[in-house]
Chain A
Amino acid sequence: MTITVDAIRACLEGVIPSTVATCAPDGTPNISYVSQVHYVDSAHVALTFQFFNKTHKNVLANPRAAVLAIDPQSAARFQLELEYLRTETEGPLFESMKAKLAGIASHTGMAGVFRLLGSDVYRVLGVTPVPGRKLPSPTPRRNLLASLRACSQVFERSADLSVLLEHLLAALEAQFDIRHAMVLMLDAPGERLYTVASRGYPQSGVGSEIALGCGVIGVAAQQKSPIRIMHMTAEYSYGRAIRESAERAGMGGHLETAIPLPGLADSRSQLAAPIVAAGRVLGVLYVESPEDQRFSYDDEDALVALAGQLGLAMRAMQETEDTHEPAGTLAGRQPLAKGAPVTVRHFAADDSVFIGDDYLIKGVAGAILCKLLADYARDGRTEFTNRELRLDPRIRLPDLSDNLEARLILLHRRLAERSGALLLEKTGRGRFRLCVNRPVQLVEVPRPG
């Protein structure tokens, strides 16, 4: 029976370094340890190319290579016969290996020494087990395919995005024992991701932001590729990612960090799977754990499958909203609220909104709230449709395909968490109500200049 590489992926996690041998054209063999043999697909692997590397030099002249890999649970050994194809120095494979290598480096005390220059991609010509003694493999916690199937049922049961996200994160815990997870949506023009749902953190962190390309979440979105780290690494920690993101944004970037990202302070394993539909990145499904090596290749496959389903579900829901949204405006009114008035300030420069002195939200969600409050102040309207938001020039949706529902979830959650004075309520497909519990004084702060 022929073994394919996917069957021995556990050997390729870098837990026990593999050995790689190559051969110069004059027949001189070379052997070294390699920190990472990366599984690409069932017929390809990639090796890290770092600093000076005789392996790399040899395969450019003679493409044949041999790898000896060891299963970290069973100690089963396998010989891989390889043929060098190419070196990638950027893109999804490179970034995925770079992140994983950073974790390995950090775990083995080699942070700052290991540096990925390229991903050397090889075709796998054969996988042969080395005869020997194996340890019994521990019984897995669960069959992950069964977990995946059970988890997928949330897509049949959930009618709207807010409920779907809540059910999905709950199912990740119930089916995969993943206790810390969040969903972030991409704000494409802003080149950032914002949190719309989370589970397993003291603060929801809804509305927190991370720049594209920063940390495992930002890199997964940027590269449209899952990123998985098996050991804590400072290089991909939130602290650093968020600091860099704020620095990049310059002086005006203080609001980027106003809502803390709800990450674990002691996160040791991280996995970010891009939510993709029709080739476009919509967001990222992110999970983490305080345990080392918590997420395997199989977990990665499961999360990628779920993120793909989530992408399709988001797109389908949006199309449904678009076709079923009631046309025109709704006339519902609410008696004017009583009590001490609350001041809501809206800064036109970045659509940031403050309730009293507290920052609420900015960007599209801020613009939406401002429109709702302006309409309420003008004629007491409290019933609104998604469709009118899409068409309203004041809101400046980035583009037609922008996930408006995600923006509304964000606004809904922020209001619920930060203010009792204002709330949003979904009243049906493509429609919602603004609940004003205290009189509102809306103050417009125009753009400077």
Chain B
Amino acid sequence: MLDAEAAAFLLRPGVSLAAATCDESNVPRIGRCVGCRVSKDRSSVTVLIASQQYQAFFEALRATRAIAVVCSLPSTHRTIQLKGSEAVIEPLARGDVDIVASFVDSFVIELASLGYPEDLARAYHWCDPTELRAVRFMPAAAFEQTPGPGAGAPLARSA
């Protein structure tokens, strides 16, 4: 289960999220996420990804169910990575479309603070809402990935 700090960071407005999996031949595939949920007890994390944009990612995920998710806040470079197995692909839950809208709005504000134009940040996250899928997994490990000598260290885990 995630510690409270890592869970809060995943949900922090303005973060950038991306997921990776690999297929049965150990070829990695990437899918960009446009939103995230964390269960109340912090035992599961759900990321929202457009299936038609990242078809190869979904095909590989169905085959191996292995997943890694990176979460980074551009203004501070704070970055963490979660890893899990047994990921499942689910339809959207109620409220997920609002989560995506709010995720993109926050990201636009974050990037604007760094001087990037709004239309760029929006186009970058554009997806067809009907294509969105929820990918749920139990984080088995979490790592610090902020650039610097501490990168790669496991995050302290709460019991």
User: Could you tell me if A110 and B147 are in contact, using CB atoms closer than 8 angstroms?
Assistant: yes
User: Could you tell me if A62 and B152 are in contact, using CB atoms closer than 8 angstroms?
Assistant: no
Supplied contacts A29-B83, A132-B53, 6 more A-B pairs, CB within 8 Å = A23-B22, A32-B70, A32-B81, A66-B28, A70-B124, A135-B123
Given contacts A27-B64, A31-B18, contact A51 B148 (CB under 8 A): yes
Point out the residues of chain B lying under 8 angstroms from A28, CB to CB. 66, 68, 83
B39 at the interface (CB under 8 A from A): no
A428 at the interface (CB under 8 A from B): no
User: Could you tell me if B77 and A23 are in contact, using CB atoms closer than 8 angstroms?
Assistant: no
Alpha-carbon gap, A338 to B31, bound state (A): 83
Count chain B CB atoms within 10 A of each CB in A51, A66, A67, A110 and give the residue with the most.
A66
User: Could you tell me if A27 and B66 are in contact, using CB atoms closer than 8 angstroms?
Assistant: yes
Q: State how many residues of chain A have any CB contact under 8 Å with chain B.
A: 44
User: Could you tell me if A79 and B30 are in contact, using CB atoms closer than 8 angstroms?
Assistant: yes
A1-50 contacts to B (CB < 8 Å):
16, 19, 21-23, 25, 27-33, 35, 50
Given contacts A62-B26, A64-B27, contact A19 B70 (CB under 8 A): yes
User: Could you tell me if A54 and B152 are in contact, using CB atoms closer than 8 angstroms?
Assistant: yes
B52 at the interface (CB under 8 A from A): yes
User: Could you tell me if B123 and A113 are in contact, using CB atoms closer than 8 angstroms?
Assistant: no
User: Could you tell me if B18 and A51 are in contact, using CB atoms closer than 8 angstroms?
Assistant: no
Alpha-carbon gap, A131 to B66, bound state (A): 24
A-B residue pairs in contact (CB < 8 Å), sample of 27: A19-B70, A21-B29, A21-B30, A23-B22, A28-B83, A29-B22, A29-B83, A30-B28, A31-B19, A31-B30, A31-B69, A31-B81, A33-B16, A33-B72, A35-B147, A51-B152, A52-B149, A53-B152, A62-B26, A66-B29, A68-B30, A74-B123, A75-B120, A79-B56, A110-B147, A132-B126, A134-B123
- Chain B interface residues (CB < 8 Å from chain A): 16, 18-22, 26-30, 32, 52-54, 56, 64, 66-70, 72, 77, 79, 81, 83, 116, 119-120, 123-124, 126-127, 145, 147-149, 151-152
- Chain A interface residues (CB < 8 Å from chain B): 16, 19, 21-23, 25, 27-33, 35, 50-54, 62, 64-68, 70, 72-75, 77, 79, 81, 108-110, 113-114, 130-135
Point out the residues of chain A lying under 8 angstroms from B32, CB to CB. 19, 68, 77
Alpha-carbon gap, A75 to B123, bound state (A): 6
Given contacts A130-B54, A135-B123, contact A68 B27 (CB under 8 A): no
Q: Taking the nearest CB of chain A, how far is it from the CB of B11, in angstroms?
A: 19
Can you name the residue of chain B whose Cβ is closest to the Cβ of A52?
B152
Task: Tell which of A21, A31, A51, A133 touches B151, judged by Cβ atoms closer than 8 Å.
Answer: A51
Count chain A CB atoms within 10 A of each CB in B19, B79, B124, B149 and give the residue with the most.
B124
User: Could you tell me if A31 and B20 are in contact, using CB atoms closer than 8 angstroms?
Assistant: yes
Point out the residues of chain A lying under 8 angstroms from B19, CB to CB. 31
